[in-house]
Amino acid sequence: MTRREELEANLTRVRARIEAARAAAGRQDQVDLVVVTKFFPAADVRLLAELGVRRVGENRHQEAEAKAAECADLDLVWHYIGGLQSNKAAAVAGYAGVVESLDRLKLVRGLDRGAAERGTPLEVLVQVSLDPPGAGHRAGAEPDDVPALAEAVEASEHLRLRGLMAVAPLGEDPAAAFARLAEVRARLVQDHPHADRLSAGMSGDLDEAVAAGATHVRVGSAILGSRPAVR
Ligand SMILES: *Cc1c(COP(=O)(O)O)cnc(C)c1O
């Protein structure tokens, strides 16, 4: 099997999973696939684009910036899904079409400046933590901090608030975590009706995420294969 055939077969399987979950949930709306290409080369991104992928996700600034430059001729939207440093935020806005990992106020100004320099509005999702309060959590704003972050994005000329992103905590039933996420989303949409996107679900839990209303799933290993353990 060539790499292209492998990616095509995996994409077909993942798209069928998304479709089955969407149908089972009785949803009429669309669920978009963001293929997470971190650790994999630009050559894979190119094959994915040929296979109809339009959204790709990356979680490290240097790697993402280099790959986006190598693939500048392709019609792709880059989703930045990783931890952000405030001194890199403006640079991320230089290539990302969507930043999914805004989790603190400090990042807003840099993202806005980067989007202004690029001359294109930047779509932003607020990353919310689904870990129990007090847990040494991985990333994401506490649910109570989401309204202030949303206001700060709305107040930024070059940013467009589009919704929320979350990762289900390890060691918990993802359906329970995504149910909490759906509540946070319902509150956000009351104040910001256009911020109705929900990025949730990865290779292992996309089915539960779609059942809980995800409009974007972020899938890496189920399409590209397992990532190297260390880098
Ligand atoms: C790596 C990553 C993914 C994809 O994970 P897989 O389990 O490989 O599908 C999704 N979201 C985020 C935030 C990630 O860092």
pLDDT in tens, 116-175: 999 999 999 999 999 976 676 668 999 999 999 999 999 999 999 999 999 999 889 999
- Tell me the two tokens of residue 134: 């007090």
User: Is 231 within a domain?
Assistant: no
In angstroms, what is the span from residue 202 Cα to ligand 1's centroid?
A: 6
Query: Are residues 36 and 218 in contact, defined by beta-carbon separation less than 8 angstroms?
Result: yes
User: Is 199 within a domain?
Assistant: yes
Maximum CA extent, the chain: 51
Model confidence band, residue 227 (pLDDT cutoffs 50, 70, 90)? confident
Rg for the chain, CA atoms, rounded: 17
User: Is 230 within a domain?
Assistant: no
In angstroms, what is the span from residue 127 Cα to ligand 1's centroid?
A: 14
User: Is 37 within a domain?
Assistant: yes
Which CATH number is 46's domain given? 3.20.20.10
pLDDT in tens, 34-80: 999 999 999 999 999 999 999 999 999 999 999 999 999 999 999 99
- Other CB atoms within 10 Å distance of the CB of residue 119: 7
In angstroms, what is the span from residue 58 Cα to ligand 1's centroid?
A: 9
Give the residues surrounding ligand 1 with Cβ less than 6 Å away. 36, 38, 59, 81, 167, 202-204, 218-222
Quote the pLDDT of residue 181: 98
Mutational pocket test of ligand 1: of 10, 40, 202, 221, the residue with most ligand atoms within 8 Å of the beta carbon: 202
The number of folded domains in the chain is: 1
User: Is 33 within a domain?
Assistant: yes
Closest Cα to atom 12 of ligand 1: 81
In angstroms, what is the span from residue 162 Cα to ligand 1's centroid?
A: 20
Query: Rounded distance, CA 198 to CA 201, Å?
Result: 10
Containing structural domain, residue 69: 3-224
Closest ligand 1 atom to residue 224 Cα is 8
Quick check: 230 pLDDT over 60?
Answer: no
User: Is 229 within a domain?
Assistant: no
User: Is 79 within a domain?
Assistant: yes
> What are the DSSP E strand ranges found in 103-155?
122-127
Query: Rounded distance, CA 79 to CA 95, Å?
Result: 9
User: Is 12 within a domain?
Assistant: yes
In angstroms, what is the span from residue 46 Cα to ligand 1's centroid?
A: 19
